[in-house]
């Protein structure tokens, strides 16, 4: 297993854990986003500032756009977490992940000028899974 795969697995584990913990905080969506963003800022600042050598080559329009998209997404996600009963959090997170997977699969298809039948099948199965998860 290569380093990038390990990082993807670690990211998946922690991205799966933090919403479960945040749901138990009983903070509203906006304030939980503020707290989380503050902690992320404090925790990542030393790493960011020690590796700031590539800033002159950065495309700031994309970086700021990505930040705006993340802000909308995290506010929506944390709003969902704040309103979700503990018993529904796992299902709602799974639906969110399936939506994310579908979006990146479509992006992949656009960038690569097509999508394989296997990936189409995976997207259809993911959509079916999202419906089944919500029905259960």
pLDDT digits (tens, 9 = 90+) for 38-75: 999 999 999 988 887 778 889 999 999 999 999 999 99
Determine contact, residues 85/64, Cβ cutoff 8 Å.
no
The residue ranges of every structural domain in the chain are 1-83, 86-136
- Model-level pTM? 0.81
pLDDT digits (tens, 9 = 90+) for 74-123: 999 999 999 999 988 888 888 888 888 888 888 888 899 888 888 888 88
Report d(CA 36, CA 110) in Å as an integer. Answer: 33
């Amino acid at each position: 297993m290569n380093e990038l795969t390990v990082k993807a697995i670690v990211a998946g584990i922690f991205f799966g854990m933090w919403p479960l913990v945040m749901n138990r905080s009983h903070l509203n969506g906006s304030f939980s986003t503020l707290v989380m963003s503050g902690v992320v800022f404090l925790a990542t600042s030393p790493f960011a500032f020690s590796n700031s050598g590539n800033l002159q080559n950065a495309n700031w329009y994309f970086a700021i756009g990505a930040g705006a998209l993340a802000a909308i997404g995290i506010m929506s996600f944390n709003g969902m977490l704040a309103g979700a009963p503990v018993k529904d959090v796992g299902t709602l997170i799974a639906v969110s992940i399936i939506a994310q997977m579908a979006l990146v699969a479509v992006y992949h298809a656009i960038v690569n000028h097509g999508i394989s039948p296997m990936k189409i099948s995976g997207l259809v199965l993911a959509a079916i899974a999202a419906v089944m998860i919500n029905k259960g």
